[in-house]
Amino acid sequence: MKMKIQTSFYELPTDSHASLRDSLLSHIQNLKDLSPVIVTQLALAIADLALQMASWKGCVQTLVEKYSNDVTSLPFLLEILTVLPEEVHSRSLRIGANRRTEIIEDLAYYSSTVVSLLVTCVEKAGNEEKMLIKIFRCLGSWFNLGVLDSTFMANSKLLSLLFEVLQQDKTSSNLHEAASDCVCSALYAIENVETNLPLALQLFQGVLTLESAYHMAVAREDLDKVLNYCRVFTELCETFLDKIVCTPGQGLGDLRTLELLLICAGHPQYEVVEISFNFWYRLGEHLYKTDDAVIHSIFKAYIQRLLHALARHCQLDSDHEGVPEETDDFGEFRMRVSDLVKDLIFLVGSVECFAQLYATLKDGNPPWEVTEAVLFIMASIAKSVDQENNPTLVEVLEGVVRLPESVHTAVRYTSIELVGEMSEVVDRNPQFLDPVLGYLMKGLCDRRLASAAAKAIHNICSVCRDHMAQHFSGLLEIARALDSFALSPEAAVGLLKG
């Protein structure tokens, strides 16, 4: 039925629309106690009918008047009112731009009716979890459509209930997720903060109250709730990004928002910090465009803390064997970290950061997994480090090519990648060309390191071509022996190009 209404509604004679509507409404009322899946499909059919049936004026009002007084009908009424705003932008429906505009205006007009209904439902539901989930899903759907009056919502009981649910330790996972989704939808809906100031203030203050609840979820090792809080904190920062950049530390630019994200970055599971990556990218973009040294200096300490947390998250397990995997979830996470570090390094200063990272290796005797993670971050920023009069770069290169073959394979692998990223340093210091090529040749002979070594040799050959003539015979030998190395096709082609 839903598919027919979506695809073939225009084939129906106009005088049969009302009887189809009445039949569907009667059907959903009779089947309301059956499978929730059936109720959802019928609700979608009714919503799609309402959106295409131009003669059904004020459909929201009709539905609320017809079913709101019957407690047993409330669940399916809420289901219809949830899917109705979601279907407005459905590509499956054959409705034009003018009709869509008309629908959105109609839904905006009746939005306060829906909010009042939801408040009534809360009073009737008490602590009934399933009903509260439906209420929050419905409210989130109307926030997503962007038709709720922000001043009206700022004073609504529903808002305080959302934060009450998120603050309570005893809230179930399903209800917690529904409340989190709804808060995220509300934050997304007020991206134009100035025109939605009353609601923006309420949401801002509400989210800031959730820090202790986050810590409680961490203490209870409830990862689902931790991820929900991080989503909410990230959406808060996304919404107030302009304020954070333009008026840092003042009003809605309060930098406690960034503190919340850095607290999440401290969580041991990398999936938590990963939620916030898009925000950090956008922050870096905004600050780069701002090009204001004073503003940049305010954010430097926050970015430094983030980079330290990311370096920690990039550590392999201490019992890991072999080279780092690049194609599994964790490998993809490390690649995203590498991209993010490259985008944010200008705020910290690549020279300073590179030197600090190297100091952690030089001054201490860290476990291999810490060494490997630090080398990985160094490889991410090596190309952006100023080459002029920089003794650290030369010292790093010297130290890396002297690494014994007995170090962990992953450390050798990542150090080879670092050498490949430092080809310009080799070009400026050609005395290192022999030891560097010797080091990479050893990697080429180890099947686990061969592809990384081939890529590094390609980089060195491309950048240091003026110094390569004396090594021509050695490179020719490598090319001739290509089949004996365990190279990926891509690495083999790269090596030949080099």
Of the listed ranges 41-50, 155-164, 463-472, the least confidently predicted one is 463-472
pLDDT in tens, 412-429: 999 999 999 999 999 998
Of the listed ranges 4-8, 230-234, 319-323, 369-373, the least confidently predicted one is 4-8
pLDDT in tens, 236-261: 999 999 999 999 999 999 999 999 99
Q: Could you tell me the two tokens for 296? A: 């940049």
Given a cut of 50, whether residue 156 has pLDDT beyond it is yes
Given a cut of 60, whether residue 36 has pLDDT beyond it is yes
Average pLDDT of span 93-105: 89
pLDDT of residue 31: 66
Contacts with 392 (C-beta within 8 Å, 6 or more apart), sequence order: 351, 354, 355, 358
pLDDT of residue 8: 54
Given a cut of 90, whether residue 117 has pLDDT beyond it is yes
Given a cut of 70, whether residue 378 has pLDDT beyond it is yes
pLDDT of residue 67: 87
Torsion, Cα 178 179 185 189, to 10 degrees, reads 150
Domain assignment of residue 134, yes or no: yes
Q: Are 1 and 45 in contact (CB under 8 A)?
A: yes
pLDDT in tens, 325-353: 988 999 999 999 999 999 999 999 999 99
**Which pLDDT band holds residue 498 (cuts at 50, 70, 90)?**
very low
Given a cut of 90, whether residue 54 has pLDDT beyond it is no
First vs last C-alpha separation in the chain? 63
Domain assignment of residue 180, yes or no: no
Domain assignment of residue 84, yes or no: yes
Average pLDDT of span 475-493: 56
Torsion, Cα 169 172 173 177, to 10 degrees, reads -90
User: Among all chains, which residue has been given the structure tokens 């090519």?
Assistant: 401
Given a cut of 50, whether residue 115 has pLDDT beyond it is yes
CA-CA distances (angstroms) from residue 150 to 253, 266, 482? 20, 34, 67
pLDDT of residue 308: 95
Given a cut of 90, whether residue 144 has pLDDT beyond it is yes
Q: Decide which of 93, 117, 148 is a domain's last residue.
A: 148
Percentage of the chain lying above the pLDDT 70 cut:
87
Average pLDDT of span 276-288: 98
pLDDT in tens, 304-315: 999 999 999 999
pLDDT in tens, 178-217: 999 999 999 999 989 999 999 999 999 999 999 999 999 9
Domain assignment of residue 140, yes or no: yes
pLDDT in tens, 285-296: 999 999 899 999
Q: Model-level pTM greater than 0.95?
A: no
Given a cut of 90, whether residue 469 has pLDDT beyond it is no
State the burial class of residue 69 (Cβ atoms within 10 Å of its Cβ: 0-12, 13-18, 19+).
Answer: exposed
Domain assignment of residue 117, yes or no: yes
Domain assignment of residue 234, yes or no: no
**Which pLDDT band holds residue 434 (cuts at 50, 70, 90)?**
confident
List the helix and strand counts (H, then E) for the chain: 28, 0
**Which pLDDT band holds residue 40 (cuts at 50, 70, 90)?**
confident
pLDDT of residue 183: 99
Q: How far apart are CA 8 and CA 21, in angstroms?
A: 15
Q: Are 377 and 314 in contact (CB under 8 A)?
A: yes
pLDDT of residue 29: 66
Q: Decide which of 130, 148, 166 is a domain's last residue.
A: 148
Q: Decide which of 119, 148, 177 is a domain's last residue.
A: 148
Given a cut of 60, whether residue 488 has pLDDT beyond it is no
Given a cut of 50, whether residue 449 has pLDDT beyond it is yes
**Which pLDDT band holds residue 41 (cuts at 50, 70, 90)?**
confident
Q: What is the DSSP letter of 149?
A: -
Domain assignment of residue 58, yes or no: yes
Domain assignment of residue 211, yes or no: no
Average pLDDT of span 367-385: 95
Domain carrying residue 407 = 317-324+349-498
Average pLDDT of span 299-305: 97
Given a cut of 80, whether residue 64 has pLDDT beyond it is yes
CB atoms within 10 A of CB 142: 26
pLDDT of residue 475: 60
φ and ψ at 33, to 5 degrees? -95, 0
Q: How far apart are CA 108 and CA 97, in angstroms?
A: 16
Q: How far apart are CA 192 and CA 244, in angstroms?
A: 14
Domain count for the chain: 2
- Identify the three-state secondary structure at position 44: helix
Q: Could you tell me the two tokens for 53? A: 């049936």
Given a cut of 80, whether residue 478 has pLDDT beyond it is no
**Which pLDDT band holds residue 2 (cuts at 50, 70, 90)?**
low
Given a cut of 60, whether residue 22 has pLDDT beyond it is yes
Of the listed ranges 12-26, 149-163, 324-338, 458-472, the least confidently predicted one is 12-26
32-51 core/surface letters (b: 16 or more CB in 10 A; e: else): beeeeeebbbbbbbbbbbbb
